[in-house]
Amino acid sequence: MKRTPLIAGNWKMYKTGPEAVKTAQTLAGLCSDVQNVDIMIAPTNLSLPLVSRAVEDTNITTGAQNIYSESQGAFTGEVSAEMVRAAGAEYVIIGHSERRQYFGETDESVCKKIRAALRAGLKPVLCIGESLEERESEKTFLVLDKQVSDGLKGFVLDELDTLVLAYEPVWAIGTGKTADVNQVDEVHQHLRSLLKRLFSDKTAEQTRILYGGSVKPENVTELMGIEDVDGALVGGASLDADIFINIINF
Ligand code: PEP
């Protein structure tokens, strides 16, 4: 099965609404000829409707960086999957390591948010990854297996048709350090066989597995050359359209 690569930009807590729209418009101009690559940008929730409108009729889609699992209610400060979908998002990033690290996200809350995303028709991008300490103590696969199996607990096969998995070693996010080709290759192969074991051949074959962690124009070609790498989740290098386009054009 041929998987369309997905290059996704996580804009984190950067850019005001007008700044986000400007970058999105510049990027739309630069990537109008790009074919056979799905492009997604995830601005802040405040910018999401503005950016979604700005990229309507272009080949860029948008995503949110987080959602709450309930569809509505007395949950001050939260935003639901339905609200994000209505704002124009097609994707939602779930379980990013910064959310796990600073905001108490757990595999259990991740699982509820994936359910919420699917309920609202959003494509979930489930982020998983080990810390440096976990890698050095050879717990990488143990950690990833738990994040995947608990994050996707209780799902049946067909529900996961739109799932995207993002392997983001925590030690490579925003640090300038990238996992080397052998490390990425080994993990991505492992994740694909894990999906096969937990779900089905079909789920394993169709799920796009992105790599994230200091992806930049200088290393993207090598990373995208790895058989089981189906795209990239990019933080810092996605903030500037002139740089991000060179990643999209891997
Ligand atoms: C990220 O935020 O998901 C990420 C990978 O960040 P960076 O590319 O800056 O390491």
pLDDT, one tens digit per residue, over 152-167 is 999 988 899 999 999 9
Please state, in angstroms and rounded to a whole number, the distance separating the CA atoms of residues 227 and 9. Answer: 21
CATH, range 6-248:
3.20.20.70
pLDDT at residue 187 tops 90: yes
Please state, in angstroms and rounded to a whole number, the distance separating the CA atoms of residues 9 and 197. Answer: 30
Mean pLDDT of 30-49: 98
The active-site residue, picked from 19, 96, 108, 136, is 96
- For the chain, what are the domain ranges? 6-248
| Confidence label for 28 from pLDDT (cuts 50, 70 and 90) | very high
Mean pLDDT of 195-215: 96
Task: Return the pLDDT at 69.
Answer: 98
Task: Return the pLDDT at 156.
Answer: 87
Please state, in angstroms and rounded to a whole number, the distance separating the CA atoms of residues 116 and 136. Answer: 35
Q: Which ligand 1 atom sits nearest the alpha carbon of residue 212?
A: 5
pLDDT at residue 231 tops 90: yes
pLDDT at residue 1 tops 80: no
Instruction: Identify whether 96 is a catalytic site residue.
Output: yes
**How high is the mean pLDDT of the chain?**
97
- The fraction of the chain above a pLDDT of 70, given in percent, is 100
Task: Return the pLDDT at 119.
Answer: 97
Containing H/E element for 100?
A: helix 97-102
Q: Which ligand 1 atom sits nearest the alpha carbon of residue 96?
A: 3
Nearest CA to ligand 1 atom 2: 235
DSSP 122: P
Task: Return the pLDDT at 178.
Answer: 83
Please state, in angstroms and rounded to a whole number, the distance separating the CA atoms of residues 126 and 166. Answer: 6
Amino acid at 19: E
Tell me the pairing of strands 164-167 and 123-128.
parallel
Work out the number of other CB atoms within 10 angstroms of the CB of residue 78: 15
Task: Return the pLDDT at 157.
Answer: 81
* pTM exceeds 0.95 for this model: yes
CA contacts within 13 A on the Cβ side of 132? 7
Q: How far is the CA of 212 from the centre of ligand 1 (A)?
A: 6
